[in-house]
Chains A and B, each alone.
Chain A
Amino acid sequence: QKEVEQDPGPLSVPEGAIVSLNCTYSNSAFQYFMWYRQYSRKGPELLMYTYSSGNKEDGRFTAQVDKSSKYISLFIRDSQPSDSATYLCAMSSNYGGATNKLIFGTGTLLAVQP
């Protein structure tokens, strides 16, 4: 079993839709939860960062972490064609001497249709 599971998609939605992206994980030591956006043949871009459980909102993006269920989500409101990209969840821990190396999901490919 992978430490981080993410549905690879592809996920296709019409412009303006609310998008929900999710990851599950197995390592209860993870404390930091990130979402990255990666356009084709580019480097990952940090979108959202959350420490421990809870919600965080930034513009059209909302990140949720439920540590009891080991489940994280990213919501995109009013999706735009420019949101079309691969979305990667990532997690890390510095508990017990761990070094905050990021463990990534495989990414979900999102296509927003105009």
Chain B
Amino acid sequence: NAGVMQNPRHLVRRRGQEARLRCSPMKGHSHVYWYRQLPEEGLKFMVYLQKENIIDESGMPKERFSAEFPKEGPSILRIQQVVRGDSAAYFCASSPPNSQETQYFGPGTRLLVL
């Protein structure tokens, strides 16, 4: 029974490069949430997606960040032209269709921007 899968687990990028983070939800889950955990800070909501739809992106920075959850394949969080301040742990969570409040988290991707 696979849980939420995220890859890569660790990602190193130089300033100005692009980072792509992938998330495969638990089987049967159709809702995906992305959160960011900065050092010494709590988890902060970024974006909520269902298949092919962005439902709530109120936590996403206005520039350089985008997310998608295509009909086939994993959800992708994309960060263009990364800066040092993007260094953080990025967590994906998924929930079943009728219980969005119960979210199960993946192991996270730790992004380091040099």
Contacts and interface: CB of A to CB of B under 8 A. Distances in A.
Interface of A: 6, 31-32, 34, 36, 41-46, 49, 51, 88, 90, 92, 94, 99-107
Given A45-B105, A99-B56, A102-B35, 6 more contacts: A44-B43, A49-B102, A94-B101, A100-B103, A102-B43, A107-B42
A49 B102 CA distance: 7
Contact of B101 (A6, A44, A92, A105): A92
B45 A101 contact: yes
Interface of B: 4, 6, 33, 35, 41-45, 48, 55-56, 58-59, 91, 93, 95, 100-108, 110
Contacts, number: 64
A49 B4 CA distance: 19
Nearest to B104: A46
A97 to B, nearest CB: 10
A32 B102 CA distance: 9
B91 A99 contact: no
